A and B are shown apart, each in its own frame.
Chain A
Amino acid sequence: MSAPDAASGSTARAARARRAWLRDLRQVALFTGKRLLALFVTVLVGVYLTIVIANMGGQVDDLRLAQIEATIGEEVRADPGFFDLPSEERNEIIERRVQMEVERLRLDEPFIMRSFDYLQQAIRLDLGRAEQMHSDAGSRQVSMIILERLPATLLLFGTANLLVFVVSVFVALVLSRRYGSPGDRAVIALAPSSAAPGWFYGIFLILVFAFVFPILPDGGMVEVPPPEGTFAYWLSVLEHMTLPLLAMFISTIFISIYSWRTFFLIHSSEDYVEMARAKGLPERLIERRYILRPTLPPIITSFLLMLIGLWSGAIILEQVFNWPGLGTLLFEAIGYRDTPVIIGGVVIFAYLLAVTVFLLDLLYAVLDPRVRVGSGE
């Protein structure tokens, strides 16, 4: 960008520089605005589709109606205050209450009308109340339910993915330099091990390290009851994390190294890398400036996508290790047809994705001069 550093000359030049700078600013603002709008539309569409699907296009309403009738009928019949009423009157009361509930939930309106209200609420992050589920603390607020599960998932999957990411990029960079070496060939040979998911390795790990050699816990996040003292507590969490972490690490590390290694191999045969070599630059500088720097955008993309991928957790792995995370939560929510919880999860995911993509757009512009918006000089 033509920054105002040219302003040292005459005032006319300063004014021109200022105008150019303002024009750049306007362009950046325009670009940002357009991107934000496009992403917002994406979120809208995604969330709306989820609302329609999670409600099975309105069919969930019938289930809900039947459920309301059953619950209220039960309540009224069980209420001692209504015992001596004749059954017609009791039925009338039931009908009235059902009617009230239906009006409260606006089940009498067509689903399509309500779906837009749901959309509006979801977009405002007003996630509402769960129908069946509640948090361990007893709250029925969807946001509370989700917030309660979030740290467990972030802790486990964040650690695992970060570990895999850092280790694989680093090892891949080293291997790409030692193409065809025994280590390189070993990684290629081991890459198919990632065909099995983490939970598959998890089962064996539990079998070996929790039962054959009982040195680690077989599941859960912390001892029951939780140990006193912060240090003892986290030590216990660490102990419980070891096996699931290991399972995830084993199941992804080799394919991850393999693909990064191939990525770096491709990019280290670029002409400008060979030129850097011919120039006699030291290998470390070549790696940093000629391989990593031009490839930073895709590396950061995959890193950020990995981070938001954490949000969904991993349903089966969490089940196998009895880990109280979001994967388990969403799985249960689908089982209960608890639409607000499902929609809540998706809404937050959609927002996270949109924010990430937006950040990536900005980062690309910073990292790659070719992407910078036409700051015509």
Chain B
Amino acid sequence: MLNIQDVHTYYGESYILQGVSLEVKPGQVVALLGRNGVGKSTLARSIMGLTPARSGRIVFRDQDITRMPAHMIARAGIGYVPQGRQVFKSLTIRENLQVTARGEGQWSFDKVLQLFPNLRSRIRSLAGKLSGGEQQMLAAGRALVGNPGLLLMDEPTEGLAPMIVRELGRTIESLKQAGTSILLIEQQLNFALRYADVVFIMNKGSIVHSCTPAELAADSATKAKFLGV
């Protein structure tokens, strides 16, 4: 589905991604873990073409997207749920979903609102007026109406109350059942372990470990070394 091969990315003069390789297979939920500042969000930005990789290759559905413009990458089928939500604050919920709706697929406008009933009841509200949890649901819905084959979620649980995090977990479960592949960038270890099929750990700009969630749960040395828990 998504194949990242030896990606090197610079942010200005800083050498952030120092050879990242990672694969997401169709239908898989892959968690990418790591401490703050190891380059997880930069990897997301490189995948989306916002901070393109200087070398290496990113292949999505047999198509090389490494140097495509961001909007073409999104249209190729990657739904981006950026860190910090970043919903369009001056647009209503309906408009947020309308501007990104694209293509035929299972995620129609109505289907997305079924998944997030809270959004339906406030469809005419400005997105800037929503709570953090509602904004997160909107950010996810906004990516889904584009009918992506892969959802790229960057720290969706950040700053959310435990109850909302559980709701988000249920959403990820139903997306998984619907066959959507997910690359989940996370800080909350337990959340990632619960929903992921495969776990990658990143440190100082490269992947240092990969295993199943069960293996990681039992491997306290790795957890202590790279995740600080």
> Do chains A and B stick together as partners?
no
* B-to-A contact residues, CB < 8 Å: none
Report A's interface with B, CB cutoff 8 A.
Answer: none
